[in-house]
A and B are shown apart, each in its own frame.
Chain A
């Protein structure tokens, strides 16, 4: 599974991007990410779940898995904790990966 996250907005308006191939991860991390994607029912989510509230950090997440691809926009006001954990974990894991 490939996960691409673009983070933008927040009061500072900073932008960052992370790309992760879960096949490169240790089993436990790979499983946890797969669980989060399943638990959020990611491939069935509406493409735009952003709240348009001021200064929220905005996430654009694209996931490709077994020939399927889906992109979802959401922010910190999101009521789906799996999505917020997903972007936090992707950022941590992508930073820890060798470049």
Chain B
């Protein structure tokens, strides 16, 4: 994870048993280990006290426990009003509330947190254990879900076009991933960088779902927001990463406008420059890469894309930059075969990671980057560089 300007350096937690082990123990209900859960809970409290005491002794402001690995969820109810976050109705470790939206949000936040921690070693949205805050029942018949820079917000849907937005695990993963992007690449929400922002949320939303269901890339449906349309709407989901442009077609909502190739890129001022439209292009590239790698998508393709998001991409990155970043990461992680899979995926959607066209500084920079990508993709190149350096 890249350091964020303006945030304190990541503090080291000097403890032999990491807090997430205690957290896991605290949640145990296995009859074979009676007492383990209560000891876990005691240890968690104790380690918090020790941490606070250590800070008091040193005379410094207490810091948030980092890397505890346990989610800190709170689900609020806006009571169909505009005020956020609303009334807290379920906190971490509380039993189910009986309100289906509250409980779906709580469970999905847990699944998303688990995905990022287990697969990418990332503790929450900021990588530092940020509490996860969600609000349900926002406004009346509200047809949307969004990340407002601090928390996730879910509407109930109007029952005519949409049902409740908490029904879909990948949608909750999508919203939380917007938070991750905010703390990492910070992709500007307009035009191609905005479409990449949307794309990253679709990628990690889909991966959260597949990871929870333990699906392979081949078995997964690659749909975003399946089951969100109200009864009677002709559609299977909001978007399809496997076949962009085919998720819905209904007179009340129109036809899915997503392209799967750069030749169909939509230039528009609406939707912040078509961020939910043109994300179909990188979405399809990710799908092709995931299927190309085979197996479970989060193991290879997910790792490559996560690296690009957290280490390479910047706020104004475009599709070509994303192609280059993922190609480089695939080459580094999975050698020439990996680089070829990712390169082919982007080429099939009309995005070239390398260019030889044009003159001037920009073209020269692009050629240098492409050459570097090819070198990185070639393990022999890495050996040569290593020999030169040593």
The contact of B272 among A11, A50, A77, by CB within 8 Å, is A50
Q: Is the CB of B171 within 8 A of A9?
A: no
Residue B148, interface by CB 8 Å: yes
Does more than half of chain A's interface fall in helix, strand or loop, or is it mixed? loop
The contact of B145 among A9, A11, A13, A14, by CB within 8 Å, is A11
Kindly list chain B residues whose C-beta atoms are within 8 Å of the C-beta of A57.
Answer: 143-144
Residue B277, interface by CB 8 Å: yes
Residue B253, interface by CB 8 Å: yes
B 65-120 contacts with A by CB, 8 A: 82
Q: Is the CB of B171 within 8 A of A11?
A: yes
Complex: how many Å from CA A57 to CA B270? 10
Kindly list chain A residues whose C-beta atoms are within 8 Å of the C-beta of B188.
Answer: 52
A 34-82 contacts with B by CB, 8 A: 50, 52-58, 60, 76-77, 81
Knowing A53-B189, A54-B198, the reply to whether A10 touches B270 (Cβ < 8 A) is: no
C-beta contact mask, B169-189 vs A, less than 8 Å → 1, else 0? 001001100100100000011
Closest to A15 in B: B270
How many residues from B make CB contacts under 8 Å with A?
36
Residue A97, interface by CB 8 Å: no
Q: Is the CB of B146 within 8 A of A14?
A: no
Complex: how many Å from CA A40 to CA B253? 30
Closest to A52 in B: B189
Knowing A11-B165, A13-B271, A15-B254, the reply to whether A55 touches B143 (Cβ < 8 A) is: no
Residue A93, interface by CB 8 Å: no
Residue B238, interface by CB 8 Å: yes
A 11-41 contacts with B by CB, 8 A: 11-15
Kindly list chain A residues whose C-beta atoms are within 8 Å of the C-beta of B194.
Answer: 52
Residue B135, interface by CB 8 Å: no
Q: Is the CB of B148 within 8 A of A9?
A: no
Kindly list chain A residues whose C-beta atoms are within 8 Å of the C-beta of B331.
Answer: none
Residue B201, interface by CB 8 Å: yes
C-beta contact mask, B134-153 vs A, less than 8 Å → 1, else 0? 00000000011111110000
Q: Is the CB of B254 within 8 A of A55?
A: no
Q: How far is the CB of B245 from chain A (nearest CB, A)?
A: 12
Kindly list chain A residues whose C-beta atoms are within 8 Å of the C-beta of B175.
Answer: 11, 54-55
Kindly list chain B residues whose C-beta atoms are within 8 Å of the C-beta of A1.
Answer: none
Complex: how many Å from CA A76 to CA B139? 11
Complex: how many Å from CA A14 to CA B143? 10
Q: Is the CB of A54 within 8 A of B189?
A: yes
Q: Is the CB of A13 within 8 A of B253?
A: no
Q: Is the CB of B254 within 8 A of A52?
A: no
Kindly list chain A residues whose C-beta atoms are within 8 Å of the C-beta of B225.
Answer: 11-12
Q: Is the CB of B270 within 8 A of A55?
A: no
Residue B275, interface by CB 8 Å: yes
Q: Is the CB of B149 within 8 A of A15?
A: no
Q: How far is the CB of B37 from chain A (nearest CB, A)?
A: 38
Q: How far is the CB of B192 from chain A (nearest CB, A)?
A: 14
The contact of A55 among B147, B190, B239, B257, by CB within 8 Å, is B147
Residue B124, interface by CB 8 Å: no
Q: Is the CB of B254 within 8 A of A9?
A: no
Kindly list chain B residues whose C-beta atoms are within 8 Å of the C-beta of A11.
Answer: 144-146, 165, 171, 174-175, 225, 238, 276
Residue B197, interface by CB 8 Å: yes
Q: How far is the CB of B288 from chain A (nearest CB, A)?
A: 22
Q: Is the CB of B271 within 8 A of A76?
A: no
Q: Is the CB of A76 within 8 A of B197?
A: no
Q: Is the CB of B271 within 8 A of A53?
A: no
Complex: how many Å from CA A81 to CA B198? 27
Knowing A13-B276, A14-B253, the reply to whether A54 touches B201 (Cβ < 8 A) is: yes
B 234-272 contacts with A by CB, 8 A: 238-239, 253-254, 257, 269-272
Q: Is the CB of B149 within 8 A of A53?
A: yes
Q: How far is the CB of B201 from chain A (nearest CB, A)?
A: 7
Question: Can you identify 24 A-B contacts, CB atoms within 8 angstroms?
Answer: A8-B271, A9-B270, A9-B272, A9-B275, A10-B144, A11-B145, A11-B174, A12-B143, A12-B228, A12-B253, A12-B276, A13-B238, A13-B271, A13-B275, A13-B276, A15-B270, A50-B272, A53-B146, A54-B189, A54-B197, A55-B146, A55-B147, A58-B271, A77-B148
**Given A56-B146, A57-B143: 5 more A-B contacts, CB < 8 Å:** A6-B270, A8-B270, A10-B276, A52-B190, A54-B197
Q: Which residues of A contact B (CB under 8 A)?
A: 6, 8-15, 50, 52-58, 60, 76-77, 81
